Chain A
Amino acid sequence: MDAGFVNAYLAAAQNVFKTMVQLDVVMGKPVLKKDKHTSGEVTGVIGFAGDKKGTFSLSFSKKGAIFIYKKMVDEDAPGVTSDVVDAIGELTNIISGQTRVHIEKLGYKLSAALPTVVVGQNVEINFITKVPVISLPFAFQAGSGPEHLFLDFSFE
């Protein structure tokens, strides 16, 4: 795995959250996941093909996802509604697009599928690849306290 991939996701995530959500996200220590389950409770998933194949997911707690939705459209949601699910899907799509721009600079052309969103804990995701999944944890302030999101990806 090219270390540039981590940097691509870091740059894309920080730019997208700053621009679309007006939120600073701070990356913690990357980890190699021991399983292929969702890291949070509301998770956007998108597949890639092209010079590399792989999968990327963007995962929040329910509270984090609701907070992000409110920040994006300035509307409250009573829970993880279809609107919240839609917002996480779109964020997944935007981060995917930005990341592909950075990865293109590394010499790889990728195309992406439409994102899907799964709601639930420990949902198994088919990451397609046989190599380990890298998880990038990010912290952010969500009103009453700190929250986390996870960018998980695997390319080969």
Chain B
Amino acid sequence: MKTLVVDDFATMRKIVKNVLRQIDITNVTEAENGRQALDILKKDGDFELIVSDWIMPEMTGIEFLKACKDDDSVKKIPFVMVTAEAQKDSVIEAIKGGVDNYIVKPFTPDKLQEAIQKAVARSRSQQ
């Protein structure tokens, strides 16, 4: 499954990649913020999963989510938000933005795997 991992912290990208590897997702491209991720998607929209942080410089995760969901060529890619933003307003904003699943840091590998699998299943059932 071709996956785009977006986080301004290299540590978190490594942790997410380690978790993805445990569920046999090894085809991973990394981006440091939403702007860079959008550029990658414009060149290659053939991704099957996006895992993104929220708070990032240049373009935040919520801005990136909304840009993805406004773009017909990428809006069907399952989008999982992995974020330290756990306040109610943030969760509601992400749901309104069309996020397919939302997981709050800190998380265990099991929780992230479950969130990703649910997002992918949900997205497939809607197609």
Which residue numbers of A lie inside 8 Å of B, CB to CB?
15-16, 18-20, 69, 72-75, 83, 86-87, 89-90, 93-94, 96-98, 100-101, 104, 109, 112, 114
Contact = CB atoms under 8 A, between A and B. Distances in A.
Choose among B10, B84, B107, B108 the residue with the greatest number of A CB atoms under 10 Å from its CB.
B84
B16 to A, nearest CB: 11
B28 interface: no
Contact of A98 (B9, B12, B14, B86): B86
B106 A94 contact: yes
Nearest to B11: A87
B107 to A, nearest CB: 7
Nearest to B17: A73
Given A74-B18, A93-B84, A104-B87, A98 B106 contact: yes
Q: Taking chain A's interface residues, is the majority helix, strand, or loop, or is none over half, making it mixed?
A: helix
A20 B108 CA distance: 7
Contacts of A90: 9, 11-12
Contacts of B88: 104
A20 B106 CA distance: 6
Contact of A97 (B8, B12, B89, B104): B104
Nearest to B107: A19
B14 A73 contact: yes
B57 A114 contact: yes
A93 B55 CA distance: 9
Nearest to B56: A114
Interface string B86-99: 11110000000000
Given A90-B11, A93-B9, A94-B84, 14 more contacts: A16-B105, A16-B106, A19-B107, A72-B15, A73-B14, A73-B18, A74-B18, A86-B9, A90-B12, A97-B104, A97-B105, A101-B87, A104-B87, A114-B57
A42 to B, nearest CB: 13
Contacts of B14: 73, 75
Contacts of B83: 97
Nearest to A109: B87
Contacts of B84: 93-94, 96-98
Contacts of A96: 84
Nearest to B89: A109
B61 to A, nearest CB: 13
A16 B15 CA distance: 14
Contacts of A101: 86-87
Contacts of A74: 18
